[in-house]
Chain A
Amino acid sequence: MVSRLVAGNSAVIIGAMYAGCDCFFGYPITPASEILHEASQYFPLAGRKFLQAESEEAAINMVYGAASSGHRVLAASSGPGISLKQEGISYLAGAELPCVIVDVCRAGPGLGNIGPEQSDYNQIVKGGGHGNYNTIVLAPNSVQEMCDLTRKAFDLAFAYRNPAVVLADGVLGHIVEPLRFPAQAVEPKIDTTWAVSGNRETKGNVITSIYLNFDELERHNVRLQRKYARIRENETAYEEYKTDDARIVLVSYGISSRIARSAVDQARREGIKAGLFRPITLFPFPEKGLMLPAARNCTFISVEMSNGQMQDDIRLATGCGRVELVNRYGGNLIRVEDLMEKIREIA
């Protein structure tokens, strides 16, 4: 296999274009702007459509439009921009439109700063806009996965007719690592059974999320919930590292999981049986995968750059009272030594 050094945000555009993404609509925001920059450079070279929108809201609604016509479309933003997009994401979910949204999370709340955080967990993993809906959420932890999971997000979005989010962070956006380029390029086909593309085959189709009749809207909601249940059943993904005999299981995603992995290695060198459980899908959350270590009475540590947002999900999944939290805020990364302190305390 051959590869090249690439930055995380660039890898998103590479992944998207090999996945047959046709349109990009964006608005500048640090630390996601390089995705916009790369799209402006590369999309037109292959006749793909790039447009810098006037606002985050306009950008996500352009996504809604292009997705309505059956095309593969990408948007990227960060915390404050994602907050603005939530209206559009709710409409996309309600109208069952496939698209991919990348969130390169920064530190909040409010304007916060441009350093990395994982505090968008709740607003991404729990829906985020109005109504009962979920997006499919994939959490890369390397430049390779920034590319690969963007590709996978398109496949899942179209398989389930649902928005899919790639939830990254400021470190993953800017880190440079080797990237194996995709071996295949997707040539997408418009699904005429639902798309509205301005032709005879699709003239009878409607894209909408309004159901005035209460019972009809209830049926629509039930159908959506069944779809999410199918996604839970079939698409959960996670990675385990040295968890087989672990007494302490670190649960972590994104850049924090890389730091947690280093802490596991350090703990093992000190003779402490620690392991890492890394959710790759955050919705669906890998509940079943966590049940095995929970059954062994392991102690869990949620390692996240947020205020225990994922810790809540670990508690729910494991039914376990002993879920510790090691976290940082404000753009600061968790340090291996912070983790070691907690690991040694528990061991």
Chain B
Amino acid sequence: MAGTTRVLGGHPGLYGEYSRKGGIAITATHYCAGCGHGILHKLIAEAMVALGVQDRCILLSPVGCAVFAYYYVDCGHVQAAHGRAQAVATGISRAEDGAIVLSYQGDGDLASIGLNETIQAANRGEKIAVFFVNNTVYGMTGGQMAPTTLIGEATITSPGGRDPVQSGFPIHMCELLDTLRAPVYIERVSLSDVPHIHRARHAVRRALEIQRDGKGYAFVEVLSPCPTALRMDALAMEQFINEKMEKEFPLKLFRDRSKDTEPIHRPRSDYSKDTLDRIFGCTEETLRAEAFEDTAFETKGIKIAGFGGQGVLSMGLALAQCAYDSRRYVSWYPDYGPEQRGGTSNCSVVISGSPIGSPVVDHPDVLVAFNRPSLVKFAPTVAKGGLIICDSLVGDYAVPEGIRAIAVPATEIATEMGVPQAINVVMLGALMEVGGLGLPGEAYSGALFEVFARRPELLSLNRKLLEKGAKAARESRTT
């Protein structure tokens, strides 16, 4: 352990003593002899200090042996779930534009359970530096096969050597990410021996420079020794990386586009109430005085039903707006059902002089049916003494006893006026006239403005449709 102590100690990017680790050997790491993590920790620590960004750095500890990176590296630390580090990094980076976010992950973490997070973060060009420790094996969990395990390489879960028919081929992360447009920097380096470590030091520093300059995604794959899980001595380990791993995972600078990349700046958050009031349109014009208790005003349940596209839901909203403008308690609820994605739709509107309990209308006082299927479905549910308003096109229908029904040629009127899509406004006019809802007439035309059209030319057309609907309902005989 003495060797490890010398390698990691005495640098301002690392803690002087590893008090978070505790134990007797307070300056020794928990890593095995010959492990690559200590080297990579030190390279990161050096780059942080050399670039003067140590205070801004947040290192994401992965699941795996380096979960305790926060014992050693002197910066901010966040530990992430297995595979999720780059999503966590995205969250930090988006929230804290000034932070330099470093994601440190092994091969199982990054290339297996976290492959989606990796590709997506890279593809968005997140402002993060990713250090991908590839040692061809799950180290901490006990030496299982990794996505990067070489063909024929024996592990606990590939005891006969990795068989591509059974387990596929080693995954090449740099090559995979190199197909994406957004990443700024992609390089594969090795920690096998001193010359390789020098090149790795350069790559780590470039990745941090790109973060210092706020330019985007930097990915450094590091071929790293795990002598314990791979059951090798130092020499065998060095040969394995230099000869076998490098053959499968060639060392290469895949891209460095930092010179051609502009820094990304995230906006500053605005918390002022004025801004919120403005963007939500909280103006005198849109806000209303609240409803008042009026027990003399009876609760009314209205159901509006028809084909999708006939404006059933917006008619309900207009009625709700009308009741609301009249200072009545009101709720609007669009019904679900298997037919929601096409076919028929319906909504419930409850209008009351007191706070509303159930917003769902099981037994409507008024049913507005735009088509025959809606009439057939809901007519039997109408409350005793209730009213049905339907389009004249629905044809003959035996209305349940004790229910009044009025047919209005809404489709005909809307078509004649050249706006066949405005059947709902005609129906609203009919409802205004004969619905007995106790809401003032001017509230209906006001609601048209709120819900349908703020353009004056449409408003006058809608008023005409409303009047025609009302007139037709007046003239309509009770069927």
Chain A residues with a Cβ under 8 A of chain B? 1-5, 14, 17-18, 20, 22-23, 25, 42, 44-49, 51, 53-55, 57-59, 61-69, 71, 73, 87-88, 91, 95, 113-116, 170-171, 174-178, 180-181, 184-188, 196-200, 202-210, 255, 258-262, 265, 331, 333, 335-337
Contact = CB atoms under 8 A, between A and B. Distances in A.
Nearest to A209: B79
Contacts of A207: 77-79
B70 interface: yes
A214 to B, nearest CB: 14
Interface stretch (B147-155, B169-177, B286-294, B412-420): B286-294
B100 interface: yes
A209 B99 CA distance: 22
Contact of A61 (B80, B317, B324, B330): B80
Interface string B77-105: 11111001001111111111011110000
Given A171-B359, A175-B332, A206 B20 contact: yes
Nearest to A201: B55
Given A196-B77, A208-B70, A47 B270 contact: yes
B210 to A, nearest CB: 16
B356 A65 contact: no
Contacts of A188: 271
Contact of A199 (B55, B330, B338): B55
Nearest first, the 5 closest Cβ-Cβ pairs linking A and B are A65-B91, A198-B99, A262-B357, A62-B91, A61-B87
Given A57-B84, A203-B74, A336-B358, A198 B276 contact: no
B201 to A, nearest CB: 23
B281 to A, nearest CB: 8
Contacts of A63: 91
A183 B282 CA distance: 11
B424 interface: no
B87 A57 contact: yes
Nearest to A50: B94
Given A203-B74, A207-B77, A331-B336, A73 B359 contact: no
A18 to B, nearest CB: 6
A203 B55 contact: yes
Chain B: interface secondary structure? mixed
A53 B88 CA distance: 11
Given A23-B94, A91-B81, A114 B76 contact: no
27 contacts: A2-B287, A2-B288, A4-B286, A5-B317, A23-B91, A47-B270, A49-B269, A55-B116, A58-B87, A58-B120, A61-B80, A65-B87, A114-B340, A115-B337, A170-B336, A174-B334, A175-B333, A177-B331, A178-B291, A181-B282, A181-B287, A184-B273, A197-B76, A208-B61, A208-B70, A210-B79, A336-B362
A203 B75 contact: yes
Contact of A48 (B91, B93, B269): B269
Contacts of A69: 58, 91-92, 95-96, 99
Given A114-B336, A178-B290, A198-B100, A62 B90 contact: yes
Contacts of B317: 5, 176
Nearest to A331: B336
Interface string B361-400: 0100000000000000000000000000000000000000
A51 B90 contact: yes
Interface bin, chain B? 35 or more
B57 interface: yes
A260 B359 CA distance: 11
B321 interface: yes
Contacts of A59: 87
Contacts of A187: 271-272
B357 A258 contact: yes
B56 A199 contact: yes
Contact of B70 (A42, A47, A51, A206): A206
B55 A178 contact: no
Contact of B98 (A18, A199, A204): A199
Contacts of A91: 80-81
Nearest to B53: A198
B290 A3 contact: yes
A20 B271 contact: yes
B433 interface: no
Interface string B307-351: 000000000010011001000011111101110100000000000
B275 interface: yes
B290 A2 contact: yes
A196 B95 CA distance: 11
Contacts of A58: 84, 87, 90, 116-117, 120
A4 B287 contact: yes
A48 B116 CA distance: 25
Given A262-B358, A333-B360, 12 more contacts: A3-B288, A3-B290, A5-B320, A25-B91, A46-B271, A61-B80, A62-B90, A71-B96, A178-B291, A184-B273, A206-B70, A206-B77
A64 B288 contact: no
Contacts of B288: 2-4, 178
A11 B88 CA distance: 27
A315 to B, nearest CB: 26
Given A2-B287, A68-B92, A259-B357, A337 B74 contact: no
A200 B55 contact: yes
Nearest to B88: A65
A233 B338 CA distance: 44
A340 to B, nearest CB: 11
A208 B77 contact: yes
A44 B79 CA distance: 29
Contacts of B356: 177, 258
Nearest to A205: B76
A213 B320 CA distance: 60
B272 A180 contact: no
Nearest to B331: A177
